[in-house]
Amino acid sequence: TSLLLMAGIVAAVGLCRRFARRRLRFHRRLCTFLLEMFSTFQICACTNELCLLGNVEPNPHTALTLTYGFTVLHGLTLTGSTCNPCGIFQPKRAGGILAEMSGLKIAAQCVAALLARVFMRFIWSLELAEPHYGALSEGCSNPIQTTEMQAFCIELLFSVVFQLAILQMESVNPKYRVHLVALLITMLVYAGGNLTGAIFNPALAFSLHANCFYDRFLSYSLVYWLAPSLGKFLILHL
C-alpha cells in the first residue's frame, strides 16, 4: 500500500508538471514556482512515507533499496528541478538564473515542504497501511542520535561531499548520472542515517521533522539548515 501511495504521488506530480509546462509556459514566474513546488512536494511526501518503512525487515536493506530506487525515480521524473534550497546558489553564481527566480524557487520549496507534511499527516490519519498506525502520535522522532556538534559536522560533511560530487558529475551522461547520484545518496544514508538521518536538504528536513523544529528550534536549525547551507558556501568560495 505504501509503494502504491508513493507511485500515485509520483504520477500525480508528473501530470501537474506537464499541465504547468503546457498551460503556463508564457507565465514564466508562475510556471517556475509551480514546477519547483510540485517537484519538492514529490520528494518530501515520498521521503516522509519512506521514513515509516525504515524499520521494515530486513533492516536496513529494505530502507536502503527503497532509498536508491526512489532517488533514481525522482532523478528521472524531476529533471530541471532543484528541490533543495542549497542547490539554488550554484546557478545564481553562474548567472543561470536571476536573484528573483532564486527567491521564487526557495519560496516554492518551503511551501511544498509544508504542503507535503500536511498531506502525509492526512494520509496517515486514514491508516491505509500498517506503518501508518500510530504515526501521528509519535511527535518529534528525534533523528539526532549523537551530540549536536557531531550532528552539525556530519550534515556539513555530507553536504560538501554531495555538492562536490554533483559538480564532478555534470559532464556525465544523464542516464548514468541519475544512478550515480542515487548510489551516492544511498551510501551517505547508510553511513550517517542512524545518526542524523543524512538529509542535507533544509526543505526536506523541515518537512520530515517539523515537530522537532518546534520543540528545539535552535539545535535543529543549526544542524539541518545552517550546516548544509555552510557546506554549499564552502564549495562555492573555497
Residue 15 structural domain: 1-237
Beta carbons of 193 and 145 less than 8 angstroms apart: no
Query: Which pLDDT tens digit goes with each residue over 137-178?
Result: 766 777 888 899 999 999 999 999 998 998 888 888 888 999
Query: Which pLDDT tens digit goes with each residue over 34-79?
Result: 999 999 999 999 999 998 887 665 567 788 899 999 999 999 999 8
The 10 Å Cβ neighbour count of residue 112 is: 26
- Cis bond leading into 174, ω under 30°? no
CA angle 4, 119, 53 (to 5 degrees): 45
To which residue does cell 542515487 refer?
A: 182
Beta carbons of 193 and 216 less than 8 angstroms apart: no
Cα gap 52→132, rounded to integer Å:
7
Q: What is the pTM of this model?
A: 0.91
- Cis bond leading into 60, ω under 30°? yes
The CATH number linked to 225 is 1.20.1080.10
Number of structural domains, the chain? 1
Beta carbons of 124 and 137 less than 8 angstroms apart: no
To which residue does cell 496517515 refer?
A: 124
Evaluated on CA atoms 224, 120, 12, 184, the torsion sign reads: positive
